[in-house]
Every structure is written in structure tokens, then in C-alpha cells.
Amino acid sequence: DTAVSQTPKYLVTQMGNDKSIKCEQNLGHDTMYWYKQDSKKFLKIMFSYNNKELIINETVPNRFSPKSPDKAHLNLHINSLELGDSAVYFCASSQEGGGTDEKLFFGSGTQLSVL
Amino acid sequence: GESVGLHLPTLSVQEGDNSIINCAYSNSASDYFIWYKQESGKGPQFIIDIRSNMDKRQGQRVTVLLNKTVKHLSLQIAATQPGDSAVYFCAENIRPGAGSYQLTFGKGTKLSVIP
């Protein structure tokens, strides 16, 4: 009964490959996010979707494409993986999104290693 | 003691002592702040929040202090336990331009509890 679950936990792949990370939340939240955490633990927002609609799209290469089939799911597809994409990717959700006092609930992360 | 530099700032504390983790935030217009705890291999977990109309909020063994004059936030942990060892992030809710609010994270501080 994990609130925000993402798979896989670990992803090791070669440069140039295409891969996807899946995320699901069972909290009934309207907004979902993808964050990237680098080796120095810095967390940076990539995207947010509110009820399947893209709200935030930070300066992220267009090789990264989020897809939200419904408001409980937000998947991240990455084309032509590069070494610099190696990081931990976190999915998160919040009740409404975009409000003044939103609490985010995070998944346990996907550690992506590009060789 | 505390060390700051190119690496993640680290605070080492003896078990049973109190811990104080500091954070400087960027936007004087931010009106909501959250402290998150991230244990190794897990996602960030909500600890406590505070709105800008308050200067102190207490939880169970944790207290957050907000000084808007100098844009400073601190997290105090009473009677620190080994289970408190983690990376702690402060986050502020920022509204870039006329868009939606988005939660922006600080750099993080690693707390190590010495048994």
C-alpha cells in the first residue's frame, strides 16, 4: 500500500539506449512531479503534471518526455541516454499542485546509471 | 562540528545531544517552507512545515524556526538518535512569475549521529 511507487529501483543501461521509469500514486492527488537528484544530492524539479496536463517544464533536454495516462500515473521516458543522465530520479505527488502550501510526497527513487 | 564546501555539508552530533541544521532561502516573497529528511536509499520524507506568518513551530522532538529578516530557516532536533542520521533539506515554495508555485529545495545537510 505504498503511497508513491516507482519502478524500477535500479536501472543500468548503455549510452544511446531508450528507457522508461514508471510512477504511480494511490493518494488521490491531482499533481505529480519528476525530480532529478545529482551526485551532490541536489534536487531539481523537471516536470509537473496536474490532472494529466503539463504545468511545469523546466529546462530539460527534449530527450526526456513525461507521459501521464491518468492522474494517478506519470511515467518518464528518456531517449538516447547520455552519461550525464546518470542520477537518481524521484517521482512525487501533491494534493492540488501550484498552491501556496503544497506538501510533496516522494517515491523511493530510481537510480539510473548510464555506462 | 559542521563542514561546508564542495561536498555536501555535514553535521556530526553525539547521540543524545541537540542538533541544529541551518538553511538560507532565496526569495523574500516565499511564504511556505518545509523540512524534508532523506535516509539512504529512500525518497525525501516530510518532517515539518511552517508558514511565513509564524516564526516558530514545534513537532515531536523537532522545532523549525523562521527568521524572515535574514531569510533563514533552522531545524532543531532534540535528543538526537541514530535513526536521525540522514540528509536534511529545506524547501521553499516559490512562484516564478505568474505561474504556479513550485517547491524548490536547498542544498541539503548530512546529519551523522555518533553513538
Confidence (pLDDT) at A54: 83
Phi-psi domain of B70 (left: phi exceeds 0; alpha: psi -120 through 50; beta: other): alpha
Q: Could you give the 3-state DSSP secondary structure of residue A85?
A: helix
One-character DSSP codes across B69-91: TTTEEEEEESS--GGG-EEEEEE
Backbone phi and psi for residue A9, each to the nearest 5 degrees, phi listed first? -75, -40
Which residues fall within 8 angstroms of residue A87, CB to CB, at 6 or more apart?
A36, A37, A38, A39, A112
CA distance A5 to B68: 36
The verdict on a CB contact (< 8 Å) between A107 and B43 is yes
Name the most confidently modeled range: A51-55, A87-91, B69-73. A87-91
Mean pLDDT for B47-71 is 95
Contact A41, A74 (CB under 8 A): no
Q: What is the pLDDT of residues B6-23, one digit of tens each?
A: 568 999 999 999 999 999
The pLDDT-based confidence of B1 (bands split at 50, 70, 90) is very low
Contact (CB<8Å) A100/B8: no
Chain B residues whose CB is inside 8 A of the A97 CB are 100
| Interface test mutation site (partner B, options A49, A56, A100, A110, max chain B beta carbons within 10 A) | A100
Q: What is the pLDDT of residue A101?
A: 74
Residue type at position B46? F
Most B CBs within 10 A among A32, A59, A104, hence the mutation to make, goes to A104
Q: Is A89 within 8 Å of A74 (Cβ atoms)?
A: no
Give the pLDDT confidence of A13-62 residue by residue, as tens digits: 999 999 999 999 999 999 999 999 999 999 999 988 887 788 777 778 99
For B85-97, what is each residue's pLDDT tens digit?
999 999 998 776 6
**Inter-chain CB proximity A56 and B51 less than 8 Å:** no
- Picking from B8, B45, B49, the nearest residue to A41 by CB comes out as B8
A42 contacts in chain B (CB < 8 Å): 105, 107-108
DSSP one-letter code for B48 = E
A57 touches chain B (CB under 8 A): no
Q: Could you give the angle at the alpha carbon of A98 between the alpha carbons of A97 and A101, nearest 5°? A: 85
Which residue is closest to A43 within chain B, CA to CA?
B105
pLDDT of amino acid A52:
78
Residue B99, pLDDT > 80, answer no
